[in-house]
Structure 1
């Protein structure tokens, strides 16, 4: 079983590297690197969610029919995973065994805040308030100045995303992860069930928007159970 992982805004493929040691041996991790960061830092930023999806699809499409796989995304990564699912289904390729949507409202709830347009100091205050950005970055201006354009570009594609409501449901089970201290309301979490023709299950974790860091071991253990030990699912 392959687990394709898509990062949150500002994140690179490296954020999932630590998962390898805790995933069961039956699960192979494939953490996708997006343009403008990590090994692809010289490449231009994306201009839309759909451009990202086309890029991800071009990276993974040759292997989709070879073996079972699942897709995990956190925050922005959940939106990318959702649209990637539609791309895969539209292309009539082998669909995932599971979607893990983490830390994100259902896709019909569009962002009301244009954070990507904030001036620098307000933007910095906002992203650090969410808890996912290392506080050490504030100490190193060179690193901060390199990071800010990446996360600003990611915020822009999420905040300018246009939801398309006239498509078939995804034919894959959904597993929704959320933090009990996140600001996303429960009705927006529950609404994910409207976009699958299969089952939809929700799992609550202690923590804020970045509970996947605070509760990393529990998150990985649950993924292991869902993908490999299905009869024993539960936190």
Structure 2
């Protein structure tokens, strides 16, 4: 029998695709703008992930099974609500992985977790996103529907079949516009650096995340920092799923070793 009682899974914010009640670490995944929890289903099923880890995926309101709920276009409000939803899951270490807008949310939730509980993620993975301290004015949310659909094609993160279907596209556009508004209106509130390790991942041809601005994530932690560069654009991880999973797996194993060492030194 597990030493940990299973958390309440009725909260609409969290998806648990492959429950592992005896996992010693939970990897919380934050989707990109316009994305949903199901984007991380392949990661949750990957045999490469350590067997003592469990993937939890955040489901933002206004999409998929939450499509009737009000969209939220404020990063701070989203981060507050996600932090609340993670409360039942902090009975063991949490690691965060966020891509693009999800990286911003992962960082903001990490900050709130520290403020509320004194805890931090055992590791923060930030993908396809410049550091919060590197501001760049964004105007994608101001594009008309046709221009926004063209931007989605260029970014490459949306199944082209959805973009070619007028009815599906009509459902997607408001969600994408909302999320772009949220992340483009986001402004970093200068905060002390985290102490957890940060691993940044990026495509070498990502116009939204130049390498020098991604490297600036190092300034947001007092802990170790490393940068992993893959061939590709903003959605490099779609074609490098195995490589990304290997990076995550090694980093989680390193964090587990560090915790074990710290426990040993404390005795």
**Length-normalised TM-score, structure 2:** 0.83
SS at match of 2:45: coil
Deviations 1:62-97 (A, max 9, x none): 221x11120000000000011111100111243111
Task: Verify: 1:112 aligned to 2:159, yes or no.
Answer: no
Q: Indicate the larger mover: 105-114 or 32-41.
A: 105-114
- Residue 6 (str. 1) matches residue 6 (str. 2): no
Residue 69 (str. 1) matches residue 117 (str. 2) = no
**Number of aligned residue pairs:** 230
Post-superposition CA distance 1:147-176 (Å, at most 9, x none): 1100110000001111111x2211211000
Q: 1:229 to 1:97 in 2, by over 3 A?
A: closer
- In structure 2, the CA distance between the partners of 1:230 and 1:51, relative to structure 1 (3 Å rule), is closer
Runs of 4 or more, structure 1, over 3 Å off, are: 229-232
Contact 1:110 1:161 in 2 (8 A): no
Q: Aligned in 2, Cα 1:69/1:198: closer, same or farther, shift over 3 Å? A: same
Q: Residue in 2 aligned with 1:147?
A: 172
- Structure 2, unmatched stretches of 5+, are 1-24, 258-267
Corresponding position of 2:77: 51
Alignment of 1:67-216 (within 5 A): 67-165=92-190, 167-183=191-207, 184-216=209-241
TM-score, normalised via structure 1 length = 0.94
Q: SS in structure 1 opposite 2:170?
A: helix
Distance in 2 of aligned mates of 1:40 and 1:169: 34
- Check 1:231–1:17 CA distance in 2 against 1; reply closer, same or farther (3 A cut): closer
Contact 1:57–1:84 (8 Å) recurs in 2: yes
RMSD: 1.5
Work out whether residues 182 and 208 of structure 1, in 8 Å CA contact, stay in contact via their aligned partners in 2: yes
| Greater C-alpha Rg | 2
Does the CA contact (< 8 Å) of 1:13 and 1:38 recur in 2? no
Unaligned runs of 5+ in 1: none
Is the deviation greater in 223-232 or in 53-62?
A: 223-232
Q: Is the 8 A contact 1:110 1:159 kept in 2?
A: no
